[in-house]
Amino acid sequence: MHTLWPTTKESRHDMTMPIRSFLFIPGDSEKKIGKVDDAAADAFIFDLEDAVALARKPVAREMVPAFIKDRPRGTRKSQFWVRVNPLDTAWTLEDLAAIVPSAPDGIMLPKVDGPQHVAQVSHYLDALETAAGVEAGSIKILPVATETPIAPFRLGDYAGARLDRLYGLTWGAEDLSSAIGASGNTDATGEWNLTYKLVRSLCLLGAHAASVEAVDTLFVDFRDPEGLHASCRAARAEGFSGRIAIHPAQVDIINKAFSPSEDEVAFAQRVVALFAANPDSGTLALDGKMLDIPHLKQASKTLAMHEARRG
């Protein structure tokens, strides 16, 4: 019998299921933080970096951990992540020291040069978790892995880096544009310029080479739901498992796009049933197409995701 993927139901915020939607929340905005409990994102990223002015960073370092601490693990309907300031600033350790005692689910690390930066922050977390009595290794890391000129060349290195905290890889275009002195990152049609298409593809491949999640970058125009949906469906078809959102109106669209459709579920059920009825066969025909074990793996994964989301 082919048993290739877990079929147990898991909650929406469980680390074993890919996060479909990450919604940014400015870490110093009491109004926006106050709306988190009623929002539907799989994960929230409380921002201590670009969304917070320098003079307001101490405020954010107080507000964010206080909010997270009031919602302990096991009671959260969504995951709580925090984007800290990058390692080329003086604030990274200060951010982490303030945040870790509240036991967030993860840290988003911007402007990394490669796996060595993730390893450095992981070592910081080792010490800070121990000091705060937080479960060892429980805080994951999602690096924005394309924001410096050297970073794209190191995306393949994540595969052999043995970073146990690494949740996935995501990419960004704005900071890379600034770093290379580009006047823009899209063409006249609104599509990514070649450089950004390249780093996006390398990020996708680097994530899968490292057996972690590939998270697509934000869709800037939150007033274009049709464009967002089409973009997300295309990203999922390429192999991305989730996306960053910059506005609450984007969350439901992203969640739906990165969940199996009824047609996908029905087809996956047929594939699994076919292989279950032919346990000694590695290749079978369905609807005029030949299917093999990779098709069974994908079908099993689709059904596991469907069951978990229903649960």
DSSP three-state, residue 289: strand
Question: pTM of the entire structure?
Answer: 0.88
Residue that is written with structure tokens 């089409």 in the block: 230
pLDDT value, residue 263: 83
| Rounded CA separation 202/259 (Å) | 24
DSSP three-state, residue 157: helix
pLDDT value, residue 158: 98
- Distances from the Cα of 134 to the Cα of 16, 93, 105, 260, angstroms: 19, 17, 11, 35
Q: In what order do the strands lie in the sheet containing 43-47?
A: 140-143, 106-109, 79-83, 43-47, 21-26, 242-245, 213-216, 168-170
Structural domains in the chain, sorted by start: 21-259 (3.20.20.60), 263-310 (no CATH)
pLDDT value, residue 301: 82
DSSP three-state, residue 140: strand
CA max distance for the chain? 66
pLDDT value, residue 260: 86
Cα 232 to the center of its chain, rounded Å: 13
Contacts of range 52-58, beta carbons closer than 8 Å, 24 or more positions apart: 52/26, 52/27, 52/28, 53/28, 56/28, 57/28, 57/85, 57/91
| Rounded CA separation 99/64 (Å) | 8
Q: Which residue positions in the chain have pLDDT lower than 70?
A: 1-16, 309-311
Radius of gyration of the chain (CA): 20
pLDDT value, residue 16: 63
- Distances from the Cα of 98 to the Cα of 84, 185, 280, angstroms: 10, 35, 56
pLDDT value, residue 213: 97
pLDDT value, residue 6: 39
Q: What is the pLDDT of residues 17-29, one digit of tens each?
A: 899 999 999 999 9
